[in-house]
Structure 1
Amino acid sequence: MADPATPAVLLPEDQVAAHVADLAARIAPLIDDETIAVCLLTGGLWFAADLTRALARLGRHVRFDALWLASYGDGKASKGQVEVRAPCQRPMDGARVLILDDVFDTGLSLAEAVRITREAGAAEVLTCVFARKPWPEPRALTPDFVGWEAPSRYLVGYGLDAGGRLRGLPDICALD
């Protein structure tokens, strides 16, 4: 087992980029330039930036917004509830919304983001996560798009953090 202080690379940067490009190719035919891409902050920022650029390379120039949700704080386990720290800024009435997040584990944040955007009047809501971790219990929803099936490990890098640290690693690593 790796030293817990040294992250073990699970998915190197070039493979992260390949998964993002694949997601963009699958999503692009289903959206248009009026689609609002909603990044779930803070962890989804890295993925959302890369995916929206990949979509632009395919001719899809989405509108961008962010929704700041928190369910973990600096802990390793979900608090079991989602706090809305900052709402979206764009009107959602009648819009197609593409919610982007870094990792899907409990599903609480993604389900809350879907609820919020639907209540704001979104006509259609698509969900996309970079990584999906296995979970022992049924979740409220299933993401429409998943980039990578992650192992059940404590992940850091590419937006994923350990107490606010290690988000900027270009690879996805395990810290357990």
Structure 2
Amino acid sequence: MEANQLGDDLKTVLISEREISDKLDEMARQIERDYEGRELLLVGVLKGAVMVMADLSRHLNRHVAMDWMAVSSYGSGTKSSGVVRILKDLDADVQGRDVLIVEDIIDSGLTLSWLLANLRSRGARSVEIATMLRKPDAAKVHIDVKYVGFDIPNEFVVGYGLDYAERYRNLPFVGLLNPHVYEK
């Protein structure tokens, strides 16, 4: 789907498909250097990380194991209570393994902070994070992120796995959604 097929839903394309691919290639080369000679387990966080996980793994020139988790922080309305619930747990045991969490975006960092602690408590040898997008101005907790694709403004973005009401995930780029779409 192209940007011009979205009518006035999209304010602008923030990061193009080409820029995403180039950044994934750059991240993959760094990951290969950092994990040379070591087994690596990629853990994708559903649903948003599907695109990043698939494309990042294809940019890697090495074998990697992959697994998925789905977690939810819930509360009243749009505010998180800080309580995290595992909706889909890993199939793999992380004990003694090098784990790379793959995310689409880091906003507040609250859920990811919990996930880091959870995987470390399971005895992982190392746990690091790779994310395509990070919103530094939205952070509520500090998280060390080893691989960051792009820092972006604290605005509502869609595409490349990111959705609004389960729409726009399949866009090959990241765009800013026009407020009239989500302020209905």
User: What is the percent sequence identity of the aligned residues?
Assistant: 31
CA contact (8 A) 2:107 2:139 kept: no
The AA in structure 2 aligned to 1:102 is: D
Per-residue CA shift, 1:139-162, capped at 9, x if unaligned? 141211101111221010000111
Larger Rg: 2
Q: Which residue of 1 aligns with 2:14?
A: 10
- Superposed CA RMSD: 2.1
Runs of 4+ deviating beyond 3 Å: none
Among 147, 150, 155, which residue is 1:148 paired with? 150
CA contact (8 A) 1:11 1:171 kept: yes
Among 40, 44, 52, which residue is 2:45 paired with? 40
Task: Decide whether aligned partners of structure 1 residues 110 and 136 sit closer, same or farther in structure 2, where only a CA change above 3 A counts.
Answer: closer
Number of residue-to-residue matches in the alignment: 169
Q: Which residue of 1 aligns with 2:110?
A: 108
The AA in structure 1 aligned to 2:29 is: A
Shift of 1:134: 2.3
1:7 & 1:109 partners in 2: Cα distance? 28
Q: Secondary structure at the match of 2:53?
A: helix
Task: Decide whether aligned partners of structure 1 residues 153 and 61 sit closer, same or farther in structure 2, where only a CA change above 3 A counts.
Answer: same
- Please list every run of 5 or more consecutive structure 1 residues that lacks an aligned counterpart in the other structure: none
2:144 & 2:133 partners in 1: Cα distance? 12
Per-residue CA shift, 1:63-92, capped at 9, x if unaligned? 00011112379x7x5524332111111011
Q: Which residue of 2 aligns with 1:79?
A: 80
What is the TM-score normalised by the length of structure 1?
0.87
